[in-house]
Amino acid sequence: MKQSELISIAEDWFQSKNWKSFPFQQKTWKAFLNGKHGLLNAPTGSGKTYALWVPIVLQYLKENPDYKTKHKKGLKAIWITPLRALSVEIQQAAQRFADDLGTGLTVGIRTGDTSQSERAKQKRQMPDLLITTPESLMLLLASKGYDKTFKTLTAIVVDEWHELLGSKRGVQMELALSRLKTVSKELRIWGISATIGNLEEAQDVLLGMDSEFRKNAVLIKSNQKSKVEVRSIIPKKMETFPWRGHLGLHLLEEIVPIIKASKTTLIFTNTRGQCEIWFQKILEKHPEFAGEIAMHHGSIGKETRLWVEQAIRNESLTAVVATSSLDLGVDFAPVETIIQIGGPKGIAKFLQRAGRSNHRPGEPSVIYFLPTHALELLEASALKRAASEEVVEDRIPYLLSFDVLIQYLVTLAVGNGFFPKEIFPEIKSTFCFQGITEEQWQWCLNFITLGSQSLQAYDEYKKVEVTPEGLFKVESRQIAMMHRLSIGTIVSDSMMLVKYVSGGFIGTIEEWFISKMKPGDTFVFAGRTLELVRIRQMMAQVRKSSKKTAKVVSFMGGRLPLSSQMSKILREELQSEADHKRNTPELKALSHIFDRQERESIVPGENEFLIETFKTREGYHALFYPFEGRFVHEAMSSLLAYRISLLSPITFSLAYNDYGFELLSDQYLDIQTVIDNNLFSSEYIFDDLQKSLNATELARRKFRDIAVISGMVFQGYPNKVIKTKHLQSNSQLLFDVFRDYEPDNLLYLQAYRETFEHQLEEGRLRLALERINSQKIIWKQCEKPTPFSFPIITDRLREKLSSEKLADRIKKMTLQLEK
Amino acid sequence: MIQNISIKNNDFKLHPSGAIYWEDKKMLLIADVHLGKVAHFRKHGAPVPANAAYKNLEKLTEISNHFQPETICFLGDLFHSKLNEEWQDFEKWTEYTKAEIILISGNHDIIPQYLYEELGIKVFDELLLDDFLLTHHPTEIKGAFNLCGHVHPGIKMKGVGRQYLRFACFYKTLNSLILPAFGNFTGKHILKPSEMDTVFAIVDGEVICVSKK
């Protein structure tokens, strides 16, 4: 069949549905059929699934002209999705097209939710299209004979590539692709990405360093502009609206009319805990919603999640309180309205959420922004600008993530086993490991075989073994099983299953939460009040309770930082305030707070850098306001604290948010000395930062993920209670042992490097310092905490840094007694 | 750097290593060494630095040279798990050590008793010496003062300016004294003392009483 004939088959099908194909879809079809790789830049809901699924099917028709009578077996394509929730949508869309054309092609799903029996069935006979996650793909590479499974593969599509790109799951994908390129000779690699600042780089990372792949690739942009209208929910009484907080419940009543006015509303929260609380509170205040609202987050059982997703499609729900678990891809046509509670921190995430609401052609998507504290209105004002100016962020790919590499190598060793000389060129061809040296490679091989760099006397270290032929292989079944259970790069706290005593799975919660409870205590989870009956292994058995409790299940979860683009807009918004323009409704609403800030301190203008000091019961506070986003503040606070601590022995506790940071001490800090000693200098920042990192716990915290991903800490697995007796340890302990006994360990060093490259963003820090040096420093000695300082000084998540002797410090401290 | 305390007219020296020297009995008390933990992890594919394993025996040698005790009593969890290569190093250490060695068995001590006995080590579930009850788990008996381990006690100190520090400690209540874990690859469990308790924190090579000011 000629290409034009194939294309017209697809066009006819579109017509039969009363649709018209978009130019970007046709472009993608042709590029694919011409054997190209590429990256498709298209937003959700634009028809991106058909842009790539159609040519995969057409390619099959081309190669199998008698497809109507004879079905050629074997896996044809893999569709990678970062979220399990997306897979059903894609499966339905793909199956519809395959069936209507009478191809006999099958579409299957394989994720963490897939049952054991279904997996076994798939292993015997793979579907033609497999929809899966990066982790499940890795698990396939950990099974024997995977090369035969993937031999027939013609395409791999990585959906939502922008989501994976800036994370270690992205690295995992790069490694998997490097293997598939060799195993599947006919492979085309395609990515789908929302708009980000570094699309070209995103394509390079996806395709790797091989010039063959890069030369033969295209970047296709859909050019579909989605218009977004941002509406802030401004408190009627600003005077009583809190200065800090993250729940936003004060404005609960404001969203009720919004919910009632539309068919289906999605309410996005930033954490699972916040999601639980909002759901609970809405029902408490408005029992009339009972049965009409639901909750969706990643820790709720699969059955419930799928039920909620289906109910959204059926329009049987008025509102759903959700977290990022409903962020991506899923196209829920009935959704009319989106409400975002609290700052989304990133523009892309915000716009993506906005895009979840219904798209009538020509009409903008509407998203309501509900601030959780007063200064967040500033963020709302900034988001509006970002939306109208179409500002986009970069996603920065990881480099040399040895933890992910080590996990991958053990994965290969668990599967078929591998020969290093075959695998090394593949590794080296990935974007992440393009800079890996022979020595580092050898180090990784030694690490997985010897557990160190030289053979130790009587050592019983066992993980990967080397056969006489030189094949690297895991022989122990226990190690293989433990490794399979540990595959992944998302590190969470130890999870516990929550089940009714009578049976019936409710969901999973973090172990630390349940460990604080005694049998008989009650808590709220998944919208139900539950009483803890007992803890059995990794399972919390509960029963329903009618008691009232304020204890809502909470999760550790990370905090999202503002992107640099977002912080710039935020700074500009603030400066427009300093010039007394107050030209947006949000800024107008904030006027009494700004007035108070002006009265007690100042609102810094474009050329001013504000430092505030004041004393409270807690000690001496020094507040700095660079408005550079959380990550930069994290770095700058530890850099500055370190430099000050060199002047004289002092101890600091550090706090930061997206606006500024605080150095809190039990000693008075003279800001004039900081200015006189030129401590904001951008000279020697690399060196000073390195030293300040040693003094703080930042790298130690990074090490936690690295230790888990590289298999040094075994997390166990909620669904399978395995005996890990005597193998419990924590990454903190390991970090100390490495520091004391193996400080040149690449994984230990990686903790520092990552803190630098990702967490601290050295480049941004330098720019921020240079900007401060060109500004006028204004030091305000205040009477009491100012409105700007409030959200920061009340933050409990703190870093510490000290140059005092422990024995001196302990003399000033008191023992924490039983309450 | 050493704290001297007196309990029931007996003198005890609390050493920053976590060991206690009981002067009247010339006995060195040591809890929760967890020998073999490093090797156990390595055997199961977790590459903890092998060098970390040797430190415990070095520390044991140093402390016994320092006090020259007649008896060394391990208050349980001497060995972390099953037999592994660290046992051979321990064997050599026992040959070298002049003191009599006693083990009060702990929950981790799953190595068969006869292997200890072959090395001349006596193994007990608990031991009553005068009015002192030596156990692994904290245990209450009327009229006796309990010396024990198991808990890996630690405490949290708070200072002005949201400062917090955690230390391993000797934890003394009215009728018991819990020893800190001696092993270098062990964690600690933070306790919240009541007004009645006395806490000796291990701070930078010193034993400091932090409960009474």
Burial class of residue A218 (count of CB atoms within 10 Å of its CB; 0-12, 13-18, 19+): middle
Residue A432: CB partners within 8 Å, gap ≥ 6?
A171, A174, A175, A205, A397, A398, A399, A400, A401, A404
Closest-CA distance, B95 to chain A, in angstroms, reads 20
Asked if the Cβ–Cβ distance from B163 to A729 is below 8 Å, we say no
Pairing of strands A522-525, A528-536: antiparallel
- For each of the domains in chain B, give its residue range(s) and CATH number, in order of start: 3-209 (3.60.21)
* H or E element that contains A30: helix A23-33
Q: Which residues of A touch B211 (CB under 8 A)?
A: 815
Give the CA angle between residues B205, B211, B213 to the nearest 5°: 100
* Residue B16 C-alpha, separation from nearest chain A C-alpha, in angstroms: 13
How many C-beta neighbours within 10 Å does residue B118 have?
Answer: 10
Query: How, if at all, do strands A264-268 and A335-341 pair?
Result: parallel
**Chain B residues inside the 8 Å CB shell of A652:** 161
Q: Does B163 touch chain A (CB under 8 A)?
A: yes
Out of A479, A666, A819, the one facing B163 most closely (by C-beta) is: A666
For residue A742, give the chain B residue with the closest CA.
B49
- In chain B, which residue's Cα lies nearest the Cα of A622? B161
Compare CB distances from B88 to A458, A618, A745 and report the shortest one's residue.
A458
Interface of B with A in 13-42 (CB under 8 A): 37, 39-42
Shortest CA distance from A457: residue in chain B: B85
- Please tell me if residue B51 touches chain A, with a CB cutoff of 8 Å: yes
Query: Which DSSP letter does residue A102 get?
Result: T
A522-525: strand order across its sheet: A505-510, A495-500, A539-544, A528-536, A522-525
Provide the 3-class DSSP secondary structure of residue B76: coil
H/E stretch holding A362 reads none
Among B39, B46, B211, beta carbon nearest to A815: B211
Instruction: Tell me if A816 and B162 make a contact (CB, 8 A cut-off).
Output: no
Judge: B192–A817 Cβ closer than 8 Å, yes or no: yes
Tell me, letter by letter, the H, E, C secondary structure of A37-56: EEEEECCCCCCHHHHHHHHH
Size of interface A-B (CB pairs under 8 A): 156
**CA within 13 Å, CB half, A475:** 7
Sequence letter at residue A786: T
Mutate to test the interface with A, among B42, B202, B211 (most CBs of A within 10 A): B42
**Residue in the structure block whose two tokens are 């800190």:** B180
Task: Choose among A674, A673, A666, A134: nearest CA to A408.
Answer: A134
What tokens appear for A513 in the block?
Answer: 């939460």
CB-CB neighbors (< 8 A) of B50 in chain A: 451-452, 456, 459, 461
CB A526 within 8 A of CB A300: yes
Nearest to B157 among A460, A814, A818 (CB): A814
* Domains delineated in chain A: 3-221 (3.40.50.300), 228-389 (3.40.50.300), 404-480 (1.10.10), 495-544 (no CATH), 602-811 (no CATH)
Q: Minimal Cα distance from B187: which residue of A?
A: A733
Q: At what angle do helices A746-754 and A698-709 cross, to 10 degrees?
A: 130
- CA separation for the pair A9, A16 (Å, rounded): 11
B209 touches chain A (CB under 8 A): no
A512-521, pLDDT tens digit by residue?
Answer: 677 667 788 8
Q: What is the DSSP letter of A720?
A: B
Of the residues B78, B162, B191, the best mutation for testing chain A's interface (the one with the most A CB atoms within 10 Å of its CB) is B162
Which chain B residue shows the shortest CA-CA distance from A615? B161
Q: Inform me whether the C-beta atom of residue B47 falls under 8 Å from chain A C-beta atoms.
A: yes
Residue A482: its chain B contacts at CB < 8 A? 44-45
> With a cut of 70, which residues of chain A have pLDDT below it?
44-46, 85-86, 224-226, 245, 327-333, 345, 358-363, 455-459, 489-495, 511-512, 515-516, 537-538, 549-550, 552-564, 577-582, 714-729, 758-762, 796, 819
- Kindly state the tokens that stand for A494: 């130890």
Residues ≥6 apart with Cβ < 8 Å to A8: none
pLDDT at B24 exceeding the cut of 90: yes
The predicted pLDDT at position A301 comes to 80
When pLDDT is averaged across residues B60-79 and rounded to a whole number, the result is 94
**Alpha carbon distance A403, A420 (integer Å):** 17
The per-residue pLDDT for A718 is 42
Yes or no, beta carbons of A664 and B162 under 8 Å apart: yes
Going by their DSSP bridges, the two strands A228-232 and A365-370 should be labelled as parallel
B181 has a chain A CB within 8 A of its CB = no
Mutating which of A737, A745, A808 best tests the B interface, going by the most B Cβ atoms within 10 A? A737
Are A651 and A668 contacting, i.e. CB atoms less than 8 angstroms apart? no
The β-bridge partners of B201 are B169, B208
State the smallest CA–CA distance between residue A800 and chain B in angstroms. 8
pLDDT tens, A675-708?
Answer: 999 999 988 888 888 888 777 777 887 788 888 8
**Residue among A810, A811, A819 with most chain B CBs within 10 A, to mutate:** A810
Q: Determine contact: B184 vs chain A, CB below 8 A.
A: yes
Q: What is the DSSP string of A529-591?
A: EEEEEEEETTEEEEEE--S----B-----PPPPPPHHHHHHHHHHHHHHHTT---SHHHHHTH
The token duo for A502 is: 């009578």
Tokens (6 digits) for A363? 């009409």
